């Protein structure tokens, strides 16, 4: 295959991954790496390098829209970005020392978890005990709800922070946005309203990914000729997907997406185990 | 107009859109250039060797772009993309300083330090 054939193929696959990622809320990065490695035989290190770059693009593109709507909480984001960026540095260093079989295996497990969480409907908001740390760091906030501004209190700040460090580590290790784990940390642990959690998570993903990007770059993981169609493709796909969010509310489609991601997950696990 | 979180978020939003658009444009132009020159070459990403040294650092990429290297142009676009969240954090730090919010200036400075270490630090 020549570049004139390979590049458009990668672009189309990435656009599909971006579309799927936007519709499921998983992000394009988590789908594009299995697609590149399983279908095109790309080494997982080049794949995660390209995927990481596309994660920054979609996060920044989507965050720009969400920030205007007033849902994201810039202080929660910044406070937790200390955890995610430090985790991302650790993850990126680990990635350079981890055998590719283990990378595939861990990737498959994370993907499996993502498929599972995408197929579930979310928990309704329940408030917990407010955390004094939240007050100290001005994390409590308000967002535009159905009946005007609705205020919220943040709970279990330390646990949330710890989980965010883990999300950052996985992001750096696998070149993904770790959106699902970030949302769990905010929505379920810190009891931040779902809409605020998802938009703030999206906002944080770009900064987290940028923290491992420098390490990836210096280790030669970011191959420009491969990252080019991946970044442009995932960006295009996710922009189209963001306009089609209505479709994602149809339960049947959510299930189809979840199954597709689940199949990719199992393939990644099998590939990983074979290489061990 | 005084600095507040709402105004900060609006400027950040514009910053992100500009960064991503500019980067996508440079990547696209570099990509067209690459396909025109290397369209008939065969891609080989099955075995990991790591990209050549000139694509691994900001200085290397800037030097290579002067030699009209198409892949360096793509890499330059990707560097712009990576710089976008970094610029966002730097800008937030300045805005928190204008809000006289010392705690958040410090917290933001930590994030910025981590990002700069990754991008230009010795590792």
Considering only alpha carbons, which residue of chain B is nearest residue A40? B46
Check B34 against A220: CB less than 8 A apart: no
Report chain A residues whose CB lies below 8 A from the CB of B13.
Answer: 63-65, 67-68
- Domain contains B44: no
Q: What is the DSSP letter of A143?
A: E
Please write the tens of the pLDDT for every residue from B33-88. Answer: 999 999 999 999 999 999 999 999 999 999 999 998 999 999 999 999 999 999 99
Q: Dihedral of the CA atoms B98, B104, B107, B109 (nearest 10)?
A: 0
Check A41 against B46: CB less than 8 A apart: yes
Task: Select from A3, A72, A232 the Cβ nearest to the Cβ of B41.
Answer: A3
What pLDDT does A225 receive? 97
What pLDDT does A27 receive? 77
What pLDDT does A127 receive? 62
Considering only alpha carbons, which residue of chain A is nearest residue B72? A224
Q: Considering only residues 79 to 98 of chain A, which have any Cβ-Cβ distance to chain B shorter than 8 Å?
A: 79, 81-82, 85-86, 88-89, 92-93
Mutation target for A interface from B4, B5, B6, B13: give the one with most A CBs within 10 A.
B13
- How far is residue A232's CA from residue A165's CA, in Å, rounded to a whole number? 29
Number of separate helices (H) and strands (E) present in chain B = 4, 0
- Domain contains B56: yes
What pLDDT does A252 receive? 73
For A67, counting Cβ atoms within 10 Å of its Cβ (0-12 exposed, 13-18 middle, 19+ buried), the class is: buried
How many independent structural domains does chain B possess? Answer: 1
- In order of A101, B91, B93, B94, B122, the CA distances from B98 in angstroms are 49, 11, 9, 6, 32
Check A217 against B103: CB less than 8 A apart: no
Q: CA of A255 to nearest chain B CA: how many angstroms apart?
A: 32
ipTM for the complex?
A: 0.93
Contact A234, A21 (CB under 8 A): yes
Contact A91, B114 (CB under 8 A): no
Please write the tens of the pLDDT for every residue from A98-140. Answer: 999 999 999 999 999 888 876 676 555 556 688 999 999 999 9
Q: Which domain range does residue B25 map to?
A: 5-38+51-120
- How far is residue A6's CA from residue A50's CA, in Å, rounded to a whole number? 15
- How far is residue B55's CA from residue B69's CA, in Å, rounded to a whole number? 10
- Domain contains B43: no
B6 or B104, higher pLDDT: B104
What pLDDT does A67 receive? 65
Q: CA of A240 to nearest chain B CA: how many angstroms apart?
A: 16
Q: What is the value of pTM for the model shown?
A: 0.92
- Domain contains B23: yes
How many independent structural domains does chain A possess? Answer: 1
**Residue B120 above 60 pLDDT?**
yes
- Which residues have C-beta within 8 Å of that of residue A164, sequence separation ≥ 6? A80, A83, A84, A87, A182, A185
What pLDDT does A144 receive? 83
Each residue's pLDDT tens digit in chain A (276 positions)?
Answer: 899 999 999 999 999 988 888 777 777 778 899 999 999 999 999 999 999 999 999 988 777 666 666 778 889 999 999 999 999 999 999 999 999 999 999 999 999 988 887 667 655 555 668 899 999 999 999 888 778 888 899 999 999 999 999 999 999 999 999 888 888 899 889 999 888 888 888 889 999 999 999 999 999 999 999 999 999 999 999 888 877 655 556 677 677 778 888 899 999 999 999 988
- Which residues have C-beta within 8 Å of that of residue B66, sequence separation ≥ 6? none
What pLDDT does A13 receive? 95
**Residue B32 above 90 pLDDT?**
yes
């Amino acid at each position: 295959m020549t570049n004139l054939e390979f590049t458009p193929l990668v672009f189309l696959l990435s656009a599909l991954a971006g579309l799927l990622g936007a519709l499921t809320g998983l992000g394009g990065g988590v789908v594009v790496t299995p697609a590149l490695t399983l279908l095109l035989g790309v080494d997982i290190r080049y794949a995660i390098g390209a995927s990481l770059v596309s994660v920054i693009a979609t996060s920044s593109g989507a965050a720009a829209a969400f920030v205007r709507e007033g849902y994201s909480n810039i202080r929660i984001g910044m406070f937790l970005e200390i955890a995610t960026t430090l985790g991302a540095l650790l993850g990126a260093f680990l990635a350079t020392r981890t055998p590719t079989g283990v990378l595939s295996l861990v990737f498959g497990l994370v993907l499996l978890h993502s498929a599972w969480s995408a197929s579930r409907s979310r928990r309704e908001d329940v408030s917990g005990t407010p955390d004094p740390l939240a007050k100290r760091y001005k994390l409590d906030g308000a967002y535009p709800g159905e009946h005007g501004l609705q205020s919220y209190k943040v709970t279990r700040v330390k646990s949330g922070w710890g989980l965010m460090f883990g999300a950052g580590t996985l992001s750096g290790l696998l070149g993904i946005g770790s959106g699902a784990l970030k949302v769990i940390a905010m929505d379920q642990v810190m009891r931040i309203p779902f809409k605020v959690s998802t938009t703030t998570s999206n906002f944080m993903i770009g900064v987290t990914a940028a923290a491992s990007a420098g390490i990836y770059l210096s280790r030669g993981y970011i191959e420009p000729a491969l990252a080019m169609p991946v970044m442009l493709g995932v960006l295009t796909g996710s922009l189209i997907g963001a306009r089609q969010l209505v479709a994602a509310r149809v339960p049947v489609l959510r299930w189809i997406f979840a199954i597709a991601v689940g199949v990719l997950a199992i393939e990644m696990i099998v590939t990983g185990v074979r290489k061990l | 107009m005084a600095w507040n979180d709402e105004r900060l978020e609006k400027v950040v939003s514009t910053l992100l859109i500009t960064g991503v658009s500019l980067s996508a444009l440079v990547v696209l132009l570099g990509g067209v250039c690459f396909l025109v020159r290397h369209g008939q070459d065969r891609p080989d990403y099955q075995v990991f060797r790591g990209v050549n040294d000139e694509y691994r650092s900001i200085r290397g990429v800037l030097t290579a772009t002067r030699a009209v290297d198409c892949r360096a142009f793509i890499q330059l676009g990707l560097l712009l993309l990576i710089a976008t969240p970094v610029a966002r954090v730097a800008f937030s730090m300045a805005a928190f300083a204008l809000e006289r919010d010392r705690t958040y200036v410090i917290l933001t400075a930590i994030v910025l330090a981590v990002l700069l270490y990754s991008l230009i630090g010795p590792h």
